[in-house]
Amino acid sequence: MSGAVQFDYFQHCVHCGLCLPKCPTYAELGDENDSPRGRIYLMQAIDSGRIAPSERIQHHLDLCLDCRACETVCPSGVQYGRLIESYRTKINGDQYRGSGLLDRLVRRLVLFVFPYRRRIKWLRRALRIAGAVGLFDFLRASGFARRYGAGLRFAEVIDREPSTLAPLPRHSLPQRGKPRARVGLFIGCVGEAILGATNRATHRVLRRNGCAVDCPTDQVCCGAIHYHAGDRASAARFARANIDAFESPNEQLDAIVVNVAGCGLMLKDYAELLSDDPQYAERAGHFADRVRDVSEFLTEHGIEPPTHAIAERVTYHHACHLCHGQGIRQQPQHLLSLIPGLELVDLKEADWCCGAAGTYSLTQPDMANRLARRKLQNIDETRSQIVATANAGCILHLRQQAIETGRDLQIVHPIDLLDRAYGPREERS
């Protein structure tokens, strides 16, 4: 597929409206234009030439989280994600963006920095200097903070994360015994540069469960950040680089394991992304077939039950691109249920988007904040001390919002808890 909007996808929608009550932006705003059905009407009208793109229409379409909740409930199997992504590619190709100069600059900055681990590290150094000289205080006192306060708060959150982690080894054997499987570990861009401790927990858990782990040093961003912004060509470039990285030097990987829901969905979409690339189409299909979320892989592979208790009350938030995009719901909760002493409490609207949605929390901060507050209110009702969720964006966004609202919450990946339940590292052989 070249990236053009596919008319057949429009035809699948019968306009029944079952998607409306599951759409977070429609639930918040009550505007049909901010629902999947309404956005399909708008895209179809633009595609057919009945209406011209405008700033108002662009706003309704940009407010889409691409959470795929509508796909979960759609009786007709509408591939809404394909529609909104291909539309964004079309708009990007037409060089139309119905937003102000500052908004476009923020988008450009996001695309320039966040897909690159080294640039994120440079950004973190710059943020430390900015904080030390009082730049954040100055921006808060200015009009900039009223529109981009979420970006300032996000900057402060990422600065709290450790930044001096040792690099993961290229090849690792199981912690004990012969390998039961050989896997590649995808570490991502934001996931490694900001939440690298979770990658190391994933590495330890895989080795604890009989895996030899390859972690290619030349792997790059999955491409999702560019893809969701409508830059399909750049996303394809990242995809080709990752296929090359995980094919060399060992082509016998049983699985390519990823711990970030958004990255996992993107990696599984490489076959579609590169379907018209004669050199990579077949290789992309082979690559995508082997991609597994870490909870998905451990459930299939078989897991050694942990023995160290975690006597905490925990609730689980479903990352959209895991539950709606990949159809993975029970596996992360199954892993948590194996931890001795852990009390797992159901969360109301557990599969509703928290507002992170990749870089959405930076480009659409008002809606992102509304959805995060809704999520936190539901978390309050569980009286949990810990929130587990399987996506880097959700973790960072909820941490930011918890700090801002004065909540004492730990927001972690399920693998962080599982790793902790295997006991102190010095006790492992």
* Domain positions in the chain: 7-93, 101-159, 171-300, 306-426
Mean pLDDT of 62-90: 87
Q: Looking at the domain covering 306-426, what would its CATH class be?
A: alpha beta
Mean pLDDT of 64-82: 90
For the chain, first and last CA: distance in Å? 49
Least confident of 33-42, 46-55, 73-82, 408-417: 46-55
Task: Say whether pLDDT at 288 is over 60.
Answer: yes
Residues in the chain: 429
Map tokens 């450790």 to a residue: 162
What sign does the CA torsion over 33, 34, 36, 40 have?
Answer: positive
**pTM score, two decimals?**
0.88
- Residue 11 has which token pair? 């035809």
* Cα–Cα distance measured from residue 192 to residue 209, given in angstroms and rounded to the nearest whole number: 22
Task: Say whether pLDDT at 264 is over 90.
Answer: yes
Q: 201-257: per-residue pLDDT in tens? A: 999 999 999 999 999 999 999 999 988 888 889 999 999 999 999 987 556 899 999
pLDDT at position 95 is: 47
**Fold of the 171-300 domain:** Glutathione S-transferase Yfyf (Class Pi); Chain A, domain 2 (1.20.1050)
Task: Say whether pLDDT at 20 is over 90.
Answer: yes
Q: Looking at the domain covering 7-93, what would its CATH class be?
A: mainly alpha
Q: How confident is the model at residue 352 (pLDDT cuts 50, 70, 90)?
A: very high
What kind and span of H or E run contains 293?
Answer: strand 291-293
Average model confidence (pLDDT) across the chain: 86
Task: Say whether pLDDT at 93 is over 60.
Answer: no
Q: How confident is the model at residue 307 (pLDDT cuts 50, 70, 90)?
A: very high
Share above pLDDT 90 across residues of the chain, in percent, rounded to a whole number: 56
